[in-house]
A and B are shown apart, each in its own frame.
Chain A
Amino acid sequence: DIQMTQSPSTLSAYVGDRVNITCRASQSITTHLAWYQQKLGKAPKLLIFSASYLENGVPSRISGSGSGTEFTLTISSLQPDDFATYYCQQYDSFAWTFGQGTRVEIK
């Protein structure tokens, strides 16, 4: 299986901060990467697919970049609604796998 490693595991930030979350794959997945946001007690919500394509309805302050083995999720100006846990997921090859998550907390 392809291993997905996110960093950091926890991130503390202020409202208005720019934040970056990194996801590394154990082998190349081209751009077959998605990002999800999960709030407590809820299902994950799709934010980004194909590494950089914004899902309908997701605010433009959220963006994704990268290819191959290294990817970044960026929130340009953190809003109260963004405090959550974020997961990356590869769908390049079976078994589809997720990163361990990055929790974004209020500082």
Chain B
Amino acid sequence: QVQLQESGPGLVKPSQTLSLTCTVSGASIRSGGHYWTWIRQFPEKGLEWIGYLYYSGRNFYNPSLESRPSISVDTSKNQFSLTLSSVTAADTAVYYCARSKTGAGIFDFWGQGALVTVSS
């Protein structure tokens, strides 16, 4: 069974960089053609796709976030990480990591979510 678990600080100051890590078990990030993805859910419950890591190819990010997000991988730990720069209060959300089915943006496994609050 594939499992994902987010970790990272729950509080970030405005203008700083948010950093979260997703630890994957039951599957290898290096194989299978999946998109390893970050999604966030705002307090008013809207969901926003942030971007994905595709080990066999390029990453892709939501253009609405401009150049603020970056997703990287640590294959030795089977983890992938999100950084989001220049955060504001509008970035306060629950952040989920998720795995897609092979080659499609269909999210079949999710982490339990990590609440990140942006506040001074």
- Tell me the B residues contacting A by CB distance below 8 Å: 45-49, 60, 62-64, 96, 98, 101, 104-108, 110-113
Contact = CB atoms under 8 A, between A and B. Distances in A.
B50 to A, nearest CB: 9
A53 B88 CA distance: 39
For chain A, the bracket of interface size reads 20 to 34
What 6 A-B pairs have minimum CB-CB distances, sorted nearest first? A91-B105, A43-B110, A98-B47, A95-B62, A96-B49, A49-B106
Contacts of B96: 43-44
Contacts of A55: 108
Given A49-B104, A94-B60, A100-B46, 13 more contacts: A1-B64, A32-B104, A34-B106, A42-B112, A44-B47, A46-B107, A46-B108, A55-B108, A87-B47, A91-B105, A94-B63, A95-B63, A98-B49
A97 interface: yes
Interface of A: 1, 32, 34, 36, 42-46, 49-50, 55, 85, 87, 89, 91, 94-98, 100-101
Nearest to B111: A43
B113 A95 contact: no
Nearest to A95: B62
A91 B104 contact: yes
Contacts of B49: 95-98
